[in-house]
Structures are given as C-alpha cells and as structure tokens.
Structure 1
C-alpha cells in the first residue's frame, strides 16, 4: 500500500511486526539481530524492541520443530515511528548460535532453522488529510453530434467509515490542457462515510447522489483527454480522532452515468 502516492496523516491503531523462529535442531539456540529495519528510498529506520539475544528451545526427536514468535507493537517498539516513514521494505539479518554448549543434543539430516518476518497492518486506523493520487489512462471519447448538454450522474452507497472528497483533472496526450471536472464543487462530499458509533463500529451506509452539468468547454476538453489524474482525500470520523475498523464485508457501491441532450432537426418534404 505504501507504493502509492499519498500525503497526510495515517495512523494505524494496532500495527505489529511478528518475528517467528522455528528450530529443528536438537539444541537450544540464541538469536541476535545484526540488522532489522524498514526502508523508504535512501532512508532507513531501525526497529527496536526485539529481545537481544532471543533464546529458542530445542526440538525433541518427536517434534517437527520448536516454534517461538515475538510481536513488536506500538507499546514495546518504535513501529509507529517506522510506519510514519511509509516504508517500502522490511529487512532482517540475524546471527544464530547454540545457547547451551555443554549440553548433549542431536542433529538430523533435515535439521534447519527458519526465521519468518511478517508486517501486519490491521485496517483499524485514524486518518486526517490523507490523500491518494493516481494517474489513469483513458481511451478516446467520440464526440456526440449536435450535443446541447451533458450531465454526469454519480450515485454512491458507502459501507466503509471513510469520508472522501474526490477531484479529477483530465489531460491530453501531451499531459497538457488541464480540465478540472468539479471546479465549483471541489469541497463537496463525493463519497459520504458510513455512520459509526464512538467505538468505530459501522451503524449505517452513507448514500448520496450528485448530478453535475458539464459546460461546453469541459465537454470539448473531455473529448481531447487521454489521462485522468484522480485525487481522493480521506478523513475518519471526528476529524480523524475516532478510529475505524474496515471489514471484508463492507462494500462501496459506485455508479456513474451521463444524460445527454441532443438537438435534432427534422425536415419535412411536402
């Protein structure tokens, strides 16, 4: 998600990085992290909070392996500060050694040690001034003969508790001649949020319909357009102070259509 172009505040309520060690050796091991960091371009921030050293017990002959997991969260590490970097990668390098040198153990032909890293960002979050920007390619739009008026109709039913404001700028194939779709309604709510209670639980969908008349200048610019720059501004309820919870059962139903008025002249030959 951090590969997108966005700006503003996005604060995850329960982010965590899970480090799992799986020991298939018949001896206990000790792990120390030589490198453990998030990166964004040339910027790096080291993660804190991982036990150093971290001891994992031995496997028995009846076990596939001994598994141990440690979770880094906002209470025991600097993960919140690291995520503010909007990282693109998580890197870890670890040193492993036997932690009981004078005890007997065993090694099997398939004995091995594994480390798994997982970054988890549950969609429980707060947002204020969070903005996504994307550029979309468009096909050619054929002009409509004798067109008098073109009206864009947008209908939205939003079950996600994110308020969103939408702006679209159209550009030609030289990325020039900008035309803003909603110049007079830039601050109007295009995606109304679902209503939530004080805990962030959704209590109802937000439903709204807009009818936007395009001027002749906008219509002609639309015919020339080959790219659309889409900007969406998000904010959670309470000016970003109430956390939300996005579930896979919540949907956004978005419908768009046009209503065209065409002048047609009929000649009657007597």
Structure 2
C-alpha cells in the first residue's frame, strides 16, 4: 500500500507526518492476496515525525536507542507459511470450529504444533512464548489470552473430557491439548494433509528415510505406539521415545 510523508500546518507552524496503509482480512479465517481469497479492508495510519528541524537533528545525530525489542520471526513464520502452503490451516479451520477467549479454536491447535517445533513449553507459558514471536500479528490473536485454561476449554469444545473418558481406559492429561481430540477428526486431518503434501511436492511414499536420532516425542508413558521407542538420541533426551 502507498506510503507518504505530508506536512500539516498547526497554529502557523509546519509539522510532518508519515502516512501508510495496510490491508486486513475482514474474516480472520481468510488468508492470501489473490482474488477470491476473502474480503479485506484498508487501514490507514499516521505517525507524527516532527518539524523539519527536529527530523534533521534525528537524521544527523546518533543517539542511544531508548528501547530495543526483538521477537522471533524467521522460524515461526516459516512454519506458519508451510501450514498454509500444505493446506493444514484450511483443514484445521474445516474440522475445528468455535472460538474461546476471542481466539478461534483451530489456532490453539496450530499454535501447539508450532510451539512444539520451535520451543516446547507448558500450555500455561504459551502466552509468554507467543508474545516473544510475531505470531500474534500474523495470525491475529492476543497472546495474553493463551494459558492452560483457554487451551483446555478450546480442546473441550472439540470433544468433552467426559465423552472421551467413556471411550478410554485412562484419564487424559490436562497439559496435552491433543489428548482430548477426537481420533476420527485427527485421522481425517492427517490423511488429508498427507494427500496434500504428496500431490503438491510430487513425493513417492514407496521409500521413506526416517532418522529417529534427530527427533524425540513427548508421548505420555501410557500412550501406546508401535513406532516410538526409547533409545539414544543426539539431544540427550534418552528418557523420551523416538
């Protein structure tokens, strides 16, 4: 969008402002810039720059920064972009409906995935982690709303704990968002995602190379798995299955 600097006369004095515009999707579930990707609105913002003299002084002087902030960008953005590219975001939106604390439920699940890949934390600390990344801006959510309570309610909307415990011999873990998801929904998402990846990247499933020494899981001890087993891995987490 267009960006410009313009003057404004106030009480006979000339001041300068920076004006810039951005586009924002009306429906936060929409993404993309091509035609048909969803309606958007234009937000126009103005930032006060100062007088010509003050701008000149700022340009030609080297003051110490008053405040420096940094946030993780590359890794989490790459994962989010890959989730869009492979159709994972669309699949989550399709299968996981509803909203909790102003955040769409599907975002809780995607954030849990990104968190596990980038810096695994407890659900209670998810808000602190997200606030240190650019995810709140690019995904559209308030990081302060993320905690174990909001994750629990978002998961319970997919399938309630009471309903799940009727079909399981053990109680679910309160700290595992995936423990309470309906297996049917999960398998539908998984199968569709694999199909998308195979088609998009023209991959052949005939030969798969899987190096377990570079990866470990957070499976609960009581979770059965034919593939995951304890062993020696490069990260030194020998107590976790890989």
Range class of TM-score, shorter chain = under 0.3
TM-score (norm 2): 0.24
* Greater length-normalized contact order (CA 8 Å, ≥ 6 residues apart): 1
Higher strand share: 1
TM-score (norm 1): 0.22
- For the pair shown, the structure with the greater C-alpha radius of gyration is 1
Higher helix share: 2
